[in-house]
């Protein structure tokens, strides 16, 4: 009588893994995701190639003059320097306000706030605010920063636009920072508490260094969204015109709190509405410059993220 060995659990698992059974549902899902990715990439590459093809003649002919000259009703003389300066000023407000407030709020919600109904209600509302259309934030900025606080912000100024964009991206900043903190392994916290560290010391020296790369990635996403927004700025005072000029001798504070401003997305939107064919090429060239600035910001954030990852 032959002895038959009883298969172990490991043998059964190995046999199942080596089996030839086809997972039809999983295969269809993978193919569908791959097709969606390919279609998205084809559309994106086609749009970028079309913009480069239309805008490259303007950039090749005018070069740096296109970037350094102000707006003009004449398509042959129009530039985007005012839009670039306005966009950079708006992004400065976004970084200075949304970044510290968003990270501080995330730290409180993840590390300090108790798990109560009030906390869950706040988190749910933050996530809902992240999906509110940007035009709603434009109306909020018009009502609060332009009209209600006009005596402080100067009305339709760069301050009002910057505060509006900061409020727009603040929920996204809180969510991304919260997810980064939540991804830090709990063992790191427990080990730090085990050697006698206080809660703030655990957060400052253990949790934040590990979460910083992901927080920087989320910051780049928020800046990219704010940089391309136009609807909130139209309501909060950005100039929609082919020409405007600041008086000579204006200081930096005058530019921020008193003078008119515009932004690169506003210029793109306005030029795209013009009936002259020359503005079509100008619109494409401005889009190329906008994409180049976004790529530069993303590259800077990637370098900073890699540096923090090496330190941790």
Q: What is the dihedral of CA 175, 180, 182, 183, to 10 degrees?
A: 140
Contact 75, 311 (CB under 8 A): no
Closest residue by Cα to residue 255 from 167, 137, 161, 166: 161
Tell me how far apart the alpha carbons of residues 236 and 143 are, in angstroms, rounded to a whole number: 9
- Residue written as token pair 């005018």: 62
- Token readout for 54 is 């239309």
- Token readout for 131 is 């999906």
- Cα–Cα separations (whole angstroms), residue 126 to 47, 129, 136, 210: 33, 5, 15, 24
Q: What is the largest CA-CA distance in the chain?
A: 106
Q: Which residues of 56-70 are buried (b: 16+ CB within 10 A; e: fewer)?
A: eebbeebeeebbeeb
CB within 8 Å of 271: residues ≥ 6 apart: 78, 279, 282, 283, 286
Query: Domain residue spans in the chain?
Result: 71-311
Per-residue pLDDT of the chain (312 residues; tens, 9 = 90+): 455 555 666 665 666 655 556 677 788 889 999 999 999 999 999 999 999 999 999 999 988 899 988 888 888 888 898 889 889 889 988 999 999 999 999 999 999 999 899 999 999 999 999 889 999 999 999 999 999 988 888 888 889 999 999 999 999 999 999 999 999 999 999 999 999 899 999 999 999 989 988 898 888 888 888 888 888 998 888 888 777 766 555 555 666 666 788 899 999 999 998 888 889 999 999 999 999 988 888 887 778 777 776 766
Domain 71-311, CATH class in plain words: mainly alpha
- Cα–Cα separations (whole angstroms), residue 125 to 13, 151, 172: 45, 30, 12
pLDDT the model gives residue 302: 78
CB within 8 Å of 116: residues ≥ 6 apart: none
pLDDT the model gives residue 109: 94
Q: Which residues of 221-244 are buried (b: 16+ CB within 10 A; e: fewer)?
A: bbbbebbbbbbbbbbbbbbeebee
For residue 210, with 0-12 CB atoms within 10 Å meaning exposed, 13-18 middle and 19 or more buried, which class applies? middle
Categorise residue 155: left if φ over 0, alpha if ψ from -120 to 50, beta otherwise: left
For residue 134, how far is the Cα from the chain centroid? Answer: 13
φ, ψ at 292 (rounded to 5°): -65, -40
Tell me how far apart the alpha carbons of residues 298 and 294 are, in angstroms, rounded to a whole number: 6
pLDDT the model gives residue 259: 73
- Token readout for 186 is 């709990």
């Amino acid at each position: 009588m032959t002895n038959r060995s009883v298969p172990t659990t490991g043998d059964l698992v190995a046999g199942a893994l080596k089996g030839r059974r086809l997972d039809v549902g999983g295969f269809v899902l993978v193919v569908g995701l791959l097709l969606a990715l390919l279609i998205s990439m084809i559309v994106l590459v086609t749009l970028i190639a079309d913009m480069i093809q239309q805008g490259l003649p303007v950039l090749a002919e005018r070069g740096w003059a296109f970037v350094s000259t102000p707006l003009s009703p004449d398509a042959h003389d129009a530039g985007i320097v005012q839009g670039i300066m306005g966009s950079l000023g708006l992004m400065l407000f976004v970084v200075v306000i949304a970044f510290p407030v968003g990270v501080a709020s995330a730290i409180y919600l993840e590390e300090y706030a108790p798990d109560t109904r009030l906390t869950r209600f706040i988190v749910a509302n933050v996530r809902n605010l992240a999906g509110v259309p940007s035009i709603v934030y434009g109306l909020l900025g018009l009502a609060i920063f332009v009209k209600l606080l006009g005596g402080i912000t100067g009305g339709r100024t760069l301050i009002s636009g910057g505060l509006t964009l900061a409020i727009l991206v603040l929920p996204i900043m809180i969510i991304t920072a919260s997810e980064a903190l939540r991804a830090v392994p709990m063992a790191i916290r427990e080990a730090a508490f085990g050697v006698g560290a206080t809660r703030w010391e655990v957060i400052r020296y253990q949790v934040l260094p590990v979460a910083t790369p992901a927080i920087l990635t989320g910051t780049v996403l928020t800046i990219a969204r704010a940089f391309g927004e136009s609807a909130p700025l139209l309501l909060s005072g950005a100039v929609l015109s082919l020409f405007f000029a600041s008086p000579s001798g204006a200081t930096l504070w005058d530019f921020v709190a008193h003078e008119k401003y515009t932004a690169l997305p506003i210029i793109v939107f306005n030029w795209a509405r013009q009936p002259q064919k020359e503005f079509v090429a100008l619109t494409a060239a401005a889009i190329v410059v906008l994409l180049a600035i976004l790529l530069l910001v993303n590259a800077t954030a990637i370098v900073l993220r890699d540096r923090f990852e090496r330190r941790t």
